[in-house]
Amino acid sequence: MMKFFNLKSMIGMFLILFMAACQDDTGSGAKVEEGLAAKLNLSIQVPAVEEVNTRAIANNESQINELALFLYSENGSSVNYSVDLTRYLQDNGTTGNGYRTYSLNGDVPVKTGTFTVYAVANWSSPFANSNLGSYVTSGDVPSQDELKAMLAQNSSVLALGSGYLPMTCVVPNVTFSVAEEDGTNSLSLSLKRATARIEFTVQNGEALNAVQGEFIPSTFQVFNLPSSSYLFDQGDNMVSTDYFDSAVMDVNEDGSFEFLMNENVRPAGQKISKYQDREIYEGNWTNPTSFKNAPKGSTYVVINGYYRDNTQSGPVSYRIHLGNFSSTGSITNFTVNRNEQHLYKVTVNGIDNISTEAEVKNPGAYGDIEVRALQFTSEPTIQDAHYVIYPIDIKAENVSDGKLTSNVSWLTLRTDLTDLEEQGYWIEDDRGTQSIDIPNGTTRVYAFLEENIGEVTREATLSLYQEAYSDFKEEFVVQQYPVSWNGNIGCERIEDGTYPWGFMWPEGTSVTYKLPGIFEDILARWWASLVLDLTGIERYSYVDVDRPLASISSVTINFDELNATGVAASDDDGKANTNELYNYQGINDASNLIAGLEGLGLHPDKELPLNPTEFAARACMMKNKFTKRVETEGDNRLELPVLRESDFVWYLPARNEAPSMVDSERPLSGDYWTSTAAPTGNENAYKFTAGTSSADQLEHRNTSLNVRAVRKR
């Protein structure tokens, strides 16, 4: 299930409404004889839209490119006609209050009478897309009902470009007469745009400074845009129309965007007492099936971007229903009227936080957001100087393009381990790469660190990001200690536990694995027997194989037969001692053998009180880099660890090497095993006590002591 949060942001909305009606300046209203020739001197103004923290209206949004009048007799006569004024238009520019004015270049012939005048400008606009132009060209006049019902239709237009906006005006009770002096009548028109302008500005609030946060808007999309509206203002009588959704569009670099739309008159929302109630929805956030309180068909905007702070980051989106919910409107208002300019100022104060200022009159906007989290859930811990497999946990929520990269070649990555790596082997062949994909969900990544034989702690930076937002990375710094050098020898830095010296296991330290019976599961028995034969299991002296027929029936591992007598006798060569112990009668393969048996679904007949495959020399040997050998027989494949002589550098120190272990930053403390066995018997080995200058004391091999691996320069 997707996890959602509320993005609480501060939105200030300013609606500048220009409701100026067309006016009749003739003033007489007297009854005159209809149909006589007369002259008209016309003055026209296009109201400006007041600016509030936004750019000025584009010049062509207030320009008239074409203008016609449709005149209908108010006396019920047939003196109805149209006048194309386009060729008479003269642009007088803008006034001090931002109004654009026009006049006529010459007198226009009209007819006497009292009329209702319908003025239409820019009927060829892509926002008009009506059949009015054919009437202007032909000189025919539609009925008033036809004219009122005429639609401006645009199912994909959101930007004006180089065109012009349709504007209309209706003036009733206009009387033209033949004047006694110059025969010229006057008429003033105040045209209103048939569309609305919507502008957004998105910015970060001061509250984000406390969490080192920022929100960077990238795209937006508009939903429920009316495909058409009445060409002439019908008040609250909204046309029945289809709706369309815009394409996803880019937000400007300064965090602003704008678009034009047909008016969308909607009834008041229900059950709304606070702003959050406007956005309550049903269904999936990115595809809501309905809104509980917003009227059907209400226009809304979804803003997409990237949010990050010092605790979380990811792509986010939030939704705002349009409407006049400013201090001059109502929280229940979802209407966008013609000739309105809506200015929305969005201040993001946190991914789920809102700061409310007392002087803010407009309610804060709460848009539900979907957080696609991609983050490290592990905390960095410093790593040791030897070869290391370092697990790091990552959480990816609703992410399909996660990436993790390493900035250094000595640290590589993978999201799973091979069977050998599960047993603790650092396998060169399977160490991964410097860049990996991160799947959705919780993932454990394994960082493979090469040894650090330098003099100082080194760092690698892991960068976690989405490919679609590669500029926004979460970083995880991995530190690795150097070897703690003392002359020509150095030791590891972090002790990972205590171990027995080994090879003195109590009598009866053995386990038996039984294969399925022939009549129980012959195929499983045959398969397990084949795999075990592939390992060469019978070559180990401490392994008993029971094979009553052609296939194996049981395997017994007798650890108590391994006492390592006569090996690891050197006082000075810990590397030789470690090699002898690790390879003693194939004991190094015992852990692989047990893992293989249990990987076949077999279970031991008992739980041993200690793990004979974990002993001091092996713990040190596992600090090295291994390769692997692959053996196959038919479709069967077996991987075995291989330690090349050139890669064998870490070992358990001999008794005369142990006193050279020095670590001023992480001092040694207590007793440590050496790799030197007691000169007589098979029960004891030498130990070294931190702070002393020699390793002359013996300890029983079953005792668990500290262990530090060493290496030469």
**Residue 422's CATH number:** 2.60.40.10
Answer yes or no: are the C-beta atoms of 264 and 297 closer than 8 Å.
Answer: yes
What is the C-alpha R_g of the chain? 43
What is the rounded CA–CA span in Å between residue 515 and residue 62? 90
582 and 670 fall within a common domain: yes
List, in sequence order, every beta strand (DSSP E) within 224-334: 225-226, 228-230, 243-244, 249-250, 256-262, 281-284, 287-291, 300-308, 313-321
Rounded (10°) CA dihedral 595, 596, 601, 603: -50
Q: Which of 78, 212, 215, 191 has its CA nearest to residue 125?
A: 191
- Residues of the chain with pLDDT > 70, as a percent, come to 88
* 429 DSSP assignment: G
Query: Domains in the chain: how many in total?
Result: 4
Q: Which residues, other chains included, contact 353 with Cβ-Cβ below 8 Å and sequence gap of 6+?
A: 8, 207
Q: Same structural domain for residues 427 and 366?
A: no
Give the pLDDT band of residue 5 (cuts 50, 70, 90): very low
Q: Report the 10 Å Cβ neighbour count for 575.
A: 21
Question: Do 561 and 671 fall into the same domain?
Answer: yes
For position 648, what pLDDT does the model report? 98
> 537 with 597, same domain?
yes
In 480-606, which ranges are continuous DSSP H helix? 522-534, 574-582, 590-599
Please tell me whether residues 566 and 522 are part of one structural domain.
Answer: yes
Task: For residue 388, give the nearest of 481, 456, 450 by alpha carbon.
Answer: 450
Q: Is residue 548 part of a domain?
A: yes
Q: Label residues 101-110 b or e (16+ Cβ within 10 Å = b).
A: ebebeebbeb
Q: How far apart are CA 173 and CA 28, in angstroms?
A: 9
Give, rounded to a whole angstrom, the gap between the first and last alpha carbons of the chain. 54
- The pLDDT, as a whole number, for residue 108 is 85
Range scoring the smallest mean pLDDT among 288-292, 434-438, 477-481? 288-292
Q: Check pLDDT > 90 for residue 78.
A: no
> Does position 419 have pLDDT exceeding 50, yes or no?
yes
pTM of the model: 0.56
Model confidence at 619: pLDDT above 90: yes
Instruction: Please check the confidence at residue 51 and state whether its pLDDT lies above 50.
Output: no
Mean pLDDT of 458-463: 98
Could you tell me if residue 236 is inside a domain?
no
Q: How confident is the model at residue 19 (pLDDT cuts 50, 70, 90)?
A: very low
Instruction: Find the range with the poorest average confidence among 258-267, 356-365, 551-560, 682-691.
Output: 356-365
Could you tell me if residue 67 is inside a domain? yes
H helix intervals, 131-177: 132-138, 144-148
Q: How many other C-beta atoms can be found within 10 angstroms of the C-beta atom of residue 25?
A: 13
d(CA 185, CA 175): 9
Assigned domain for 241 exists: no
DSSP 430: G
Enumerate residues 6+ apart whose C-beta is below 8 A from 228.
Answer: 151, 152, 153, 154, 155, 239, 241, 242, 262
* Distance (Å, whole) CA 354 – CA 8: 5
Tell me which residue has tokens 């929805």.
281
Q: Is the Cα torsion angle 365, 367, 372, 378 positive or negative in sign?
A: positive
pLDDT above 70 for 445? yes
List strand residue ranges (DSSP E) for 547-647, in order: 554-558, 625-633, 636-642
Task: Please state the rounded mean pLDDT for residues 416-420.
Answer: 95
Distance (Å, whole) CA 491 – CA 660: 9
State which residues form the domain around 540.
489-713
* Averaged pLDDT for residues 201-205: 87
For every residue of 3-61, DSSP letters joined together read -EEEEEEEEEEEEEE--PPP-----------TT-EEEEEEEEEE-----SSSPPPPGGG
Q: How confident is the model at residue 476 (pLDDT cuts 50, 70, 90)?
A: very high
Q: Phi first, then psi: what are they for 649, rounded to 5°?
A: -125, -30
419 vs 17: which has the higher pLDDT: 419
Q: Are residues 434 and 536 in the same domain?
A: no
Where in 143-279 does DSSP place strands (E)? 151-153, 167-176, 184-190, 192-193, 195-204, 214-223, 225-226, 228-230, 243-244, 249-250, 256-262
| CA separation for the pair 46, 61 (Å, rounded) | 10
User: What is the C-alpha separation between 194 and 83, in angstroms, rounded?
Assistant: 21
Specify whether 532 is located in the same domain as 493.
Answer: yes
Q: Determine the pLDDT at residue 182.
A: 58
Which residues have C-beta within 8 Å of that of residue 293, sequence separation ≥ 6? Answer: 269, 270, 271, 272, 277, 278, 280
CA–CA distance from 40 to each of 46, 68, 228, 540 (Å)? 19, 13, 33, 117
- Residue 566 pLDDT > 50: yes
Are 340 and 415 part of one and the same domain?
Answer: no
- How many other CB atoms are found less than 10 A from the CB of residue 678? 17
Mean pLDDT over residues 127-138, rounded? 88
238, part of any domain: no
Domain co-membership, 496 together with 355: no
Rounded to whole angstroms, how far apart are CA atoms 254 and 700?
A: 74
Judge whether 235 lies within some domain. no
List the one residue out of 53, 6, 5, 10 whose CA is nearest residue 205. 10
Same domain assignment for residues 580 and 711: yes
**What is the reported pLDDT for 357?**
24
Stretch 466-482: mean pLDDT: 89
Same domain, 67 and 82: yes
* Residue 510, beta-bridge partner list: 558
pLDDT band at 91 (very low <50, low <70, confident <90, very high): confident
Q: Is residue 68 part of a domain?
A: yes
Last residue of a domain, one of 353, 371, 389: 371
- Final residue of a structural domain among 343, 371, 399: 371
225 and 358 together in one domain: yes
Of 497 and 78, the structure prediction assigns the larger pLDDT to 497
**Residue of 391, 397, 388 whose CA lies nearest to 414:** 391
Q: Which range, of 91-105, 415-429, 664-678, averages the lowest pLDDT?
A: 91-105
- What confidence score (pLDDT) does residue 506 get? 74
Buried b (16+ CB within 10 A) or exposed e, 357-366: eeeeebbbbb
pLDDT score recorded for residue 340: 85
CATH number of the domain where residue 151 is located: 2.60.40
Domain end: 415, 447, 482, which one?
482
Most confidently modeled range among 43-47, 224-228, 519-523, 537-541: 224-228
Residue 52 predicted with pLDDT over 50: no
Quick one: how far is CA 633 from the chain centroid?
47
In a domain, 242, yes or no: no
